[in-house]
Amino acid sequence: MEIKPWKLNKAARCAHCKDATIHSIIIDRYKMKIKCRDCGFTRFYNFHVVNIPKRR
Amino acid sequence: MKVHLRVFVETENLGKAMNAMTEAGITGFYILEYKGMSPQDWKGFVIKEEPESAIGLIRDYATDAVLICSVVEEEKAEEIEKLISETLKKDKFTILEVPIRKIIVNYGNEEEVEEEVDVWLLEKEVPCFYCGENAVQRIRVDVNKAKIWCTNCGAARYYLIKGVERPER
């Protein structure tokens, strides 16, 4: 089943420009991208592992 | 002007001296324990030059004492002086006030620490990547890693930082 990437916004202090700015967050099955809308500083994450709880 | 205040007291009077300094409003301090002899006690002593002899003499005759140091404004130093003189009027103490020309303080890795504790928590109702159900997904983003977990099926997905892209100046 194809699931579209999630799109979120977060107001937070940017690690690069140090200002309180809006960050665009895009999360898909294997990648995650967080970008400061003000200065453009971007962090990229890769999928690492999934933990599935045991069924009771 | 700020001064480096040094208060020398006998160990048993440390509490009294500290209370007097706290009452005067000191914000920070440091303490050094030492063994010492006052000029009156030392007068007339001639020690043998062997190291053992000198160390033995200090061990036997010197008094256990404490040096309390703090950096304060000149006016506050006067207040501390009065309070200590009052509190320890029957005890031995010495106060030195050394003028300070400059203070440089470096907090080292303060920025790195700030970045480390910067954790974002988010929630969004979207289809889960594992069970496919439309459910609330909790997202925790750290500087170097991220975790998302589904409130429906409980699957937790972990992501690790791959890199950053800094904007051109």
Residue of B nearest to A23 (CA): B120
Mark which residues 79-118 of B lie under 8 Å from A by CB: 115, 118
Q: Indicate the burial class of B129 (C-beta count within 10 angstroms; 0-12, 13-18, 19 or more).
A: buried
ipTM entry? 0.93
Q: Is A37 on the interface with B (CB under 8 A)?
A: no
In three state form, how does the secondary structure of A8-52 look? EEEEEECCCCCCEEEEEEEECCCEEEEEECCCCCEEEEEEEEEEC
Say how far apart CA B142 and CA B81 lie, in whole Å. 50
Taking only the tens place, the pLDDT of each residue in B37-71 is: 777 777 777 767 777 777 787 778 888 899 999 99
Q: Where are the beta strands (DSSP E) in B26-166?
A: 30-36, 63-73, 93-99, 120-127, 134-141, 145-150, 156-165
* pLDDT of A6: 94
Contacts of B160 in chain A (CB under 8 A): 45-46, 48
User: Rounded mean pLDDT of chain A?
Assistant: 90
**Which residues are CB-contacts of B107 (< 8 A; sequence separation ≥ 6)?**
none
Least confident interval from A26-35, B56-65, B89-98: B56-65
Taken in order B32, B35, B37, B42, is the CA torsion positive or negative?
A: negative
On the question of pLDDT at A21 being above 60, the answer is yes
Can you give the residue ranges of every domain in chain A?
Answer: 6-46
Domain B2-99 maps to which CATH number in 3.40.50.740, 3.30.70.120, 2.60.40.1180, 3.60.10.10?
A: 3.30.70.120
Task: For residue B156, give how far its alpha carbon lies from the nearest alpha carbon of chain A (Å).
Answer: 5
